[in-house]
Amino acid sequence: MAGITGIFLILLSVDVVLGPLLTFIVGNEKKKSLKFDLSVIVFIQLGAFFYGMYTVFEGRPAWLVFVGDRFELVQAYEVDNKYLDNAQPEFSDISWRGPHWIGAKLPEDAKARDELLFSSVSESIDLPQRSDLYVSYSAVAADISQRAIPLSELISFNIPEVVKSELVKWPSADSYLPIYSGSKDSSMTVLLRRETAEVIAIVDLAPW
C-alpha cells in the first residue's frame, strides 16, 4: 500500500505542481515553440496520470488470505492469471470494493505440492497468490479459531498502554492473528472472536 501512496504523491506533484510550474516557465507568447512546449507538458501530465491510475488498479488490495498461522494481504497484480481458469467462480474476479476474507489450502496431490514449492522458489508464486487453491472463509474458520493467539501476547510486541487503549474499543475481541503485507515491519493485527473466527477489526499493532 505504501507503493500506491507514493504513486498518488507523484500524481499530485506532476499534475498540481510540476505541470503549472513548467507552463509558467515556458509561457512566453513570443516563443515560436510555445505550442510544442505546452504539448509536451500536457503529454507528461497525461502520461503520469494514466501510469498512476494503472498502478492503483494493479496494486489495489484483492484478498486477505488465511494461510497456516496468519493472513496475507494479496494485491491484484500478485494474483497469477494463469490459475484463474481453475479457480472457483467467486475467486475468478477481483473486486473494487476492497479485499475479501478467504482462505487457501495446500493441494492434496503430492506432485501438485511439489510444483507449488518449486513455483514459490523460482517465481515467488506461493499459496496466497494461487487463486485455484482459494477456499471460502468458512472453510478455514475452524483452523483460524485453532490458530488464534491470546490478546495478552500483543503486550510483548507493543507498548502496553497502546495495546490497552486499542483493545478497549473492541470488547468482543478475545484473540488475534497477524496480517502480513510484504514485510514484518508493515504487518498489522486482525482482532478475532475465537469461538466463531469472526473478524472484529484490523488494528495498527505489531503482531510479532
CB-CB contact of 192 with 199 (8 Å)? yes
Residues 120 and 182 in one domain: no
Residues 25 and 42 in one domain: yes
Residue 36 or 75, more confident: 75
Mean pLDDT of 46-50: 71
pLDDT of residue 146: 97
Give residue-wise pLDDT tens across range 84-104: 888 898 897 777 777 899 999
Any idea which of 27-36, 100-109, 125-134 has the lowest mean pLDDT? 27-36
User: Which of 59, 83, 98 is a domain's end point?
Assistant: 59
d(C-alpha 193, C-alpha 171), whole Å: 10
User: Which of 107, 124, 143 is a domain's end point?
Assistant: 143
Residues 153 and 208 in one domain: yes
pLDDT of residue 122: 73
Look at residues 166, 179, 174 and name the one whose alpha carbon lies nearest to residue 197: 174
Residue 6 has pLDDT above 60, yes or no: no
Residues 33 and 78 in one domain: no
Residues 46 and 68 in one domain: no
Residues 67 and 130 in one domain: yes
pLDDT of residue 151: 98
pLDDT of residue 172: 97
The 10 Å Cβ neighbour count of residue 97 is 5
Look at residues 58, 52, 54 and name the one whose alpha carbon lies nearest to residue 13: 52
pLDDT of residue 47: 74
Q: What's the whole-number average pLDDT of the chain?
A: 83
pLDDT of residue 2: 47
Highest mean pLDDT among 28-32, 35-39, 82-86: 82-86
Highest mean pLDDT among 21-30, 127-136, 169-178: 169-178
Any idea which of 59-73, 82-96, 193-207 has the lowest mean pLDDT? 82-96
In the beta sheet, which residues pair with residue 193? Answer: 198
Residues 35 and 108 in one domain: no
Residues 202 and 132 in one domain: no
Residues 55 and 66 in one domain: no
Share of the chain above pLDDT 90, in %: 43
Residues 134 and 67 in one domain: yes
pLDDT of residue 76: 84
The answer to whether the predicted template modeling score (pTM) of the entire model surpasses 0.85 is no
Range of the domain at 38: 2-59
User: Which of 143, 160, 181 is a domain's end point?
Assistant: 143
Residue 19 or 153, more confident: 153
Residues 68 and 139 in one domain: yes
DSSP code of residue 92: S
Residues 98 and 135 in one domain: yes
Look at residues 146, 156, 143, 142 and name the one whose alpha carbon lies nearest to residue 189: 156
Domain count, the chain: 3
pLDDT of residue 67: 95
